[in-house]
A and B are shown apart, each in its own frame.
Chain A
Amino acid sequence: GNSVTQMEGPVTLSEEAFLTINCTYTATGYPSLFWYVQYPGEGLQLLLKATKADDKGSNKGFEATYRKETTSFHLEKGSVQVSDSAVYFCALKDSGAGSYQLTFGKGTKLSVIP
């Protein structure tokens, strides 16, 4: 079956530091890959996505590249801000038509300190 493995948190960084959150996956075929962000007390927000190999998703300074050869979708940001403090979830979706179910990683909590 499908699975997603994220680096264990929590991750604590100083403001303006470089961020990497590793995500690897196991799936058959060509899944779509997503990063969602959850701020305290809120639901999940789509941060970015990629639907095929070598695609790069980007949003709000975050980016991730779909690497099929390493089955990875690592999240990066060049300079984090305090407002980026949240839990980040990596997820995948099967490529089948009409298949919307997501497989989530366990989430990585990021804390950015001033």
Chain B
Amino acid sequence: GAVVSQHPSWVICKSGTSVKIECRSLDFQATTMFWYRQFPKQSLMLMATSNEGSKATYEQGVEKDKFLINHASLTLSTLTVTSAHPEDSSFYICSAADGYTDTQYFGPGTRLTVL
């Protein structure tokens, strides 16, 4: 089946620093990727939709200047959390849409802890 990877799987950083998370579709091309945030014991919250070669579309309430998304190729999207603060600590999950199967496939997630 389709595989999506994320890197890193976990990261700890100091408050005020920036962190970049990579999401790759390994065996298919994804014109559309998604970024989600998941709080403990809760469902996924869609943060933004990323389309290859164009600007991301952010959901209401998500700060686009804080959560920078780049989708430079058909297999790679990145999420950069800028000037991270402890309240940004969360589990971030990406997904990639496979147009051939019309299905979203998810990465394994990245646990971000901001001290």
> Do B108 and A100 touch across chains, with their CB atoms under 8 A apart?
no
A65–B43 CA distance with the chains assembled, in angstroms:
23
Q: Which of these, B6, B93, B104, B109, contacts A100 with CB under 8 Å?
A: B104
> Do B43 and A89 touch across chains, with their CB atoms under 8 A apart?
yes
A42–B34 CA distance with the chains assembled, in angstroms:
17
Contact string against B for A residues 71-114, beta-carbon threshold 8 Å, 1 for contact and 0 otherwise: 00000000000000000010001000010111011110100000
Q: Interface on chain B toward A: helix, strand, loop, or mixed SS?
A: strand
> Do A104 and B105 touch across chains, with their CB atoms under 8 A apart?
no
> Do B43 and A105 touch across chains, with their CB atoms under 8 A apart?
yes
Q: Interface on chain A toward B: helix, strand, loop, or mixed SS?
A: strand
- Indicate whether B32 reaches chain A with its CB closer than 8 angstroms: yes
Number of interface residues of A (CB under 8 A): 22
Contact string against A for B residues 41-55, beta-carbon threshold 8 Å, 1 for contact and 0 otherwise: 111101001000000
Which residues from 75 to 114 on chain B have a C-beta closer than 8 Å to any C-beta of chain A? Answer: 93, 95, 97, 99, 102-109, 111
Smallest CB separation, B100 vs chain A (Å): 12
Nearest-neighbor residue (CB-CB) of B96 within chain A: A100
Smallest CB separation, B18 vs chain A (Å): 23
- Chain A positions within 8 Å of B, measured between CB atoms, are 32, 34, 36, 41-46, 49, 51, 89, 93, 98, 100-102, 104-107, 109
